[in-house]
């Protein structure tokens, strides 16, 4: 979930001022949370307190009626309606807010049903529902690998994406020129691009940079990519501390409460990347707290053993990016 929030805030500055510079400034005073973060927090809050997804999203959006970038036209009408009804939308808003459900339910059927439920209050077009389900499925599949052994998902990205393609029917082999600098607000125009970016990424930060620098719908593509990247690679701890300063207190409390209810999320905040197997002492302490010292020591050994394999895989990904 936090990956979606980071991707949104990092991309917010570039939503209407697109950049193709991979080395863009990561965070500044010009960044802020948008509707993507508000809706993601709303979904998490609904799960925590047994509220309907539509009720919670409507409530949270009305708490923040003028977020950075505003709300899309039809969704803005939905937000300001006293009796909001679904409007057959297939916008990418369905996919950017869905990530919390992938951590809340223990079965694939459960997360697919819940993902659909997060979309239906507003985005009840089949493409909107499918977009939400596909993102949730990618996160869930990554978490399944990482539940077997820490960071194993990073070694199985192709399998994760294959499952998503088989479920959705999306074609993720589009040429870069077809999507670069193209502002597409639909699920079918955004989610396949997000999956393609994941296929070429090396770590969490790399994935978000690729998403934002595509020059497209930077905040929402960043949120979707960030939500999947979090489940695969984890988020450097330093980024968590940075992003907390951009969130209102009540949002921060929801994030913390959600993590307390789902402690496996803490593993996804370990300070590591696909390119480096060096962990900070604080990071290992998190693993000790969750799995115990023996499990953490085993993970530490395995991380070192796989360093060379990870480097080879990174080289292959770099090649794929050059040819995109």
Enter the pTM of the model: 0.88
Question: For residue 12, what pLDDT is reported?
Answer: 97
Answer yes or no: are the C-beta atoms of 227 and 29 closer than 8 Å.
no
Query: What residue ranges of the chain have pLDDT lower than 50?
Result: 271-279, 284
Question: For residue 202, what pLDDT is reported?
Answer: 84
Cα 263 from Cα 80, distance rounded (Å): 35
Cα 6 from Cα 244, distance rounded (Å): 9
Question: For residue 276, what pLDDT is reported?
Answer: 43
Question: For residue 240, what pLDDT is reported?
Answer: 82
Task: Give pLDDT tens digits for 130-169.
Answer: 999 999 999 999 999 877 666 678 888 999 999 999 999 9
């Amino acid at each position: 979930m936090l990956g979606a929030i980071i991707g949104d805030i990092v991309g917010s500055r570039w939503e209407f001022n697109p950049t193709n510079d991979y080395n863009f400034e990561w965070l500044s005073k010009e960044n802020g949370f948008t509707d993507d973060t508000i809706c993601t927090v709303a979904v998490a809050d609904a799960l925590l307190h047994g509220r309907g997804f539509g009720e919670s999203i409507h409530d949270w959006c009305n708490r923040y009626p003028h977020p950075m970038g505003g709300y899309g036209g039809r969704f803005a009408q939905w937000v300001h309606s006293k009796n909001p009804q679904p409007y057959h939308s297939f916008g990418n808003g369905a996919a950017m807010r869905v990530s919390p459900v992938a951590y809340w339910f223990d079965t694939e059927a459960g997360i697919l049903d819940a993902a659909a439920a997060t979309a239906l209050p507003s985005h009840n077009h089949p493409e909107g529902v499918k977009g939400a389900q596909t993102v949730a499925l990618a996160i869930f599949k990554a978490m399944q690998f990482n539940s077997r052994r820490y960071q194993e998902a990073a070694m199985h990205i192709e399998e994760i994406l294959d499952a998503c393609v088989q479920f959705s029917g999306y074609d993720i082999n589009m040429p870069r020129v077809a999507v670069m600098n193209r502002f597409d607000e639909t699920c079918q125009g955004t989610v396949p691009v997000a999956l393609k970016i994941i296929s070429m990424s090396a770590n969490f930060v790399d994935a978000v940079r690729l998403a934002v620098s595509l020059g497209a719908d930077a905040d929402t593509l960043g949120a979707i990519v960030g939500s999947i990247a979090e489940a695969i690679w984890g988020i450097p701890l330093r980024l968590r501390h940075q992003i907390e300063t951009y969130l209102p207190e009540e949002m921060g409390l929801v994030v913390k409460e959600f993590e307390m209810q789902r402690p496996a999320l803490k593993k996804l905040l370990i300070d590591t990347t696909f390119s480096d197997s060096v962990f900070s002492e604080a990071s290992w302490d998190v693993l000790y707290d969750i799995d115990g010292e023996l499990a953490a020591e085993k993970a530490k050994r395995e991380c070192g053993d796989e360093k060379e394999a990870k480097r080879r895989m990174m080289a292959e990904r770099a090649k794929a990016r050059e040819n995109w």
